[in-house]
Amino acid sequence: MSNITEDFENAKKAVKDLKASKRTDFQETEQLIINLKKEVRNDLMPKIEQEDKRLKEIASKLDAHIKTAFESFNTLDEIINYLESAFQRGKKDKAYGRALILLEENPMIEKAKTYFSDKEQNGKFIGIILNKLIELSDEIMPEEYTELLKVEKSFFEVKYSNL
C-alpha cells in the first residue's frame, strides 16, 4: 500500500505542477493517474470468485445502459439525465455502485473525451461525470478512491482550461 500512497502523492504533485505551469506533459500525468486508479481498483475488486462474477454481470448491464446513452442522445443534458438513474441506483445498491465505479467509470470517461466535436464541451462532460462519480464514491467507496477521483477531476479541469 505504501507504493500506492507514493504514487498518489506523485499524481497530486503532477496535477499541482500542471496548474502552476511548472509541467506541460498532460499525457504523462494522465497516464500516472490511470495507472494509479488501476492499482487501487485491483485492490478493491472482490477476492471471492462469486462476488467478482456478480460485479462483472452488473457491469455488463451498466455497460449496455451507458452505450444506450451515448448512442441515443445528442446533447449533454440528455445523456446526463439518462445516466442519472444509474448514479442514483448506485447509491442505494452498493454492488451496483461499485460496478459503476470500478468497472465502468474509465470507459465512460474515455467516451466522454471525444463524444462532442467541441473539446470544451467534452471537458464539461467529463467534469459532470466525475462530479457524479465523486458523489457516489463518497457514499460507498474508501476515502482514498474518492480523493483519487478528485485528483483526476482537477487534472481534467487544468487540461481543458488550456485549450
Residue 12 inside a domain? The answer is no
Residue 122 inside a domain? The answer is yes
Residue 30 inside a domain? The answer is no
- pTM score: 0.90
Helices 105-114 & 49-72, crossing angle to 10 degrees? 20
Give the gyration radius of the chain's Cα atoms: 16
Count of domains forming the chain: 1
- Give the domain range for residue 76: 48-161
User: pLDDT 10s per residue in the chain (163 long)?
Assistant: 557 788 878 888 888 888 887 767 888 899 999 999 999 999 999 999 999 999 999 999 999 999 999 999 999 999 999 999 999 999 999 999 999 999 999 999 999 999 999 999 999 999 999 999 999 999 999 998 999 999 999 999 999 987 6
CB 15, CB 36: distance < 8 Å: no
Residue 58 inside a domain? The answer is yes
